[in-house]
């Protein structure tokens, strides 16, 4: 065997080896061993906790038309003022209402042989209403519609605080990661040693399980029903333990 072939084979023997065991969609585990470095096992896992939302953000819009931009804007301002007053009377503080969009734009009509011409103007004013009493969401929507709101863009449900839920999700993530790592260690004929590294990975914002509620019209027979559903709070961790090989 030539010197070059012997050198190539020696390089294959000392190259680092990585063994990864498939895990579920929320966890990944692997064992890595490098000559001269204590072998270790790394696992990543996601823990989740479900909570019921206690607040809502409601988008309320008023749309008006007029022959001039000033007329459309003035009519819109008066109608939106009535809507805001009705929302406040339903129990929402002024600090919980903010303007999120305002537009005045021309509308066009076709004129025979002369091309499009301005036929009038349309004004659109949208406010975001934070509702801190989740049971009052339907009542506030009805109050806004009754006062002249022409569109309820959606209801976004959320929780005022997710701190406790996140702590619980972190504990679940670490526990799941340890189970994955122990499974890998046992399969490799060893066990877990001391903890070497623990990192919290970024995850997305809490996601509601229930879809956003879309309101088309007000019913005078009953208040608008709002189903809160649940919010999923997630936490992800990456943990590494020393791998202790079994006795041979």
The 10 Å Cβ neighbour count of residue 38 is 13
Report CA dihedral (131, 165, 228, 101) to the nearest 10 degrees: 40
| 110-137: average pLDDT | 89
> Residue 35: is its pLDDT beyond 70?
no
Please give the residue that has the higher pLDDT: either 228 or 3: 228
Q: Which phi and psi (to 5°) does residue 34 adopt?
A: -125, 135
pLDDT of the residue at 206: 64
What's the chain's average pLDDT? 82
Split at pLDDT 50, 70, 90, the class of 246 is confident
Q: Please state which of the ranges 64-68, 198-202, 208-212 shows the lowest mean pLDDT.
A: 208-212
Secondary structure class of 65 (helix, strand, coil)? strand
Does the pLDDT value for residue 216 go beyond 60?
no
> Given this model, what pLDDT does residue 139 score?
93
Q: Distance (Å, rounded) from C-alpha 20 to C-alpha 50?
A: 31
Res 207: pLDDT: 57
Assigned token pair, 150: 């022409």
Mean local confidence (pLDDT), 50-73: 95
Eight-state DSSP code of residue 145: H
The confidence score (pLDDT) of residue 30 equals 59
The whole-number average pLDDT for the span 108-127 is 87
**Res 211 pLDDT > 60:** no
- Give the model's pLDDT for residue 183: 96
Can you tell me the distance from the alpha carbon of 155 to that of 170, in angstroms, rounded to the nearest whole number? 29
CA distances from 79 to 100, 108, 131, 196 (A): 16, 24, 21, 63
Return the CA Rg of the chain.
Answer: 30
Report the pLDDT value the prediction gives residue 237, as an integer from 0 to 100.
Answer: 97
Per-residue pLDDT reduced to its tens digit, 167-198: 999 999 999 999 999 999 999 999 999 999 99
pLDDT at 19 over 90: no
The rounded percent of the chain whose pLDDT value lies above 70 is 77
What's the CATH superfamily of 55-158? Protein of unknown function (DUF541), domain 2 (3.30.70.2970)
User: Does position 209 have pLDDT exceeding 60, yes or no?
Assistant: no
Q: What pLDDT band is residue 34 in, cutting at 50, 70 and 90? A: low
The per-residue pLDDT for 153 is 85
pLDDT confidence band for 228 (50 / 70 / 90): confident
Give Cβ neighbours of residue 91 (< 8 Å, ≥ 6 apart): 133, 136, 139, 140
The model carries a pTM of 0.68
CATH of domain 15-51+166-245: 3.30.110.170
Whether the per-residue pLDDT at 16 is higher than 60: the answer is no
The single-letter DSSP state of residue 67 is: S
**Over 90: is that where the pLDDT of 18 sits?**
no
Q: Do domains 15-51+166-245 and 55-158 have the same CATH topology?
A: no
């Amino acid at each position: 065997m030539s010197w070059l072939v012997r050198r190539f084979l020696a390089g294959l023997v000392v190259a680092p080896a990585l063994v990864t065991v498939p895990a579920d969609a929320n966890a990944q585990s692997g064992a890595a061993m490098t000559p001269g470095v204590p072998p270790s096992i790394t696992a990543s896992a996601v823990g989740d906790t479900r909570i019921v939302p206690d607040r809502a953000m409601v988008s309320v819009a008023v749309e008006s038309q007029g022959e001039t931009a000033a007329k459309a804007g003035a009519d819109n301002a008066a109608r939106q003022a009535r809507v805001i007053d009705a929302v406040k009377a339903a129990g929402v503080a002024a600090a919980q209402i903010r303007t999120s969009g305002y537009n005045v734009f021309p509308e066009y009509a076709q004129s025979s042989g002369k091309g499009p011409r301005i036929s009038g103007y349309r004004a659109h004013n949208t406010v975001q209403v934070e509702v801190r009493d989740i049971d009052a969401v339907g009542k506030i929507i009805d109050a806004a519609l009754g006062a002249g709101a022409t569109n309820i863009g959606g209801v976004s449900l959320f929780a005022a605080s997710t701190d406790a839920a996140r702590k619980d999700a972190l504990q679940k993530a670490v526990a799941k990661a340890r189970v994955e790592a122990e499974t890998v260690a046992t399969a490799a004929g060893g066990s877990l040693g001391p903890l070497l590294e623990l990192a919290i990975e970024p995850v997305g914002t809490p996601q509601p399980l229930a879809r956003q509620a879309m309101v088309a019209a007000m019913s005078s027979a009953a208040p608008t029903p709002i189903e809160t559903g649940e919010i999923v709070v997630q936490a992800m961790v990456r943990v590494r333990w020393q791998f202790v090989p079994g006795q041979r």
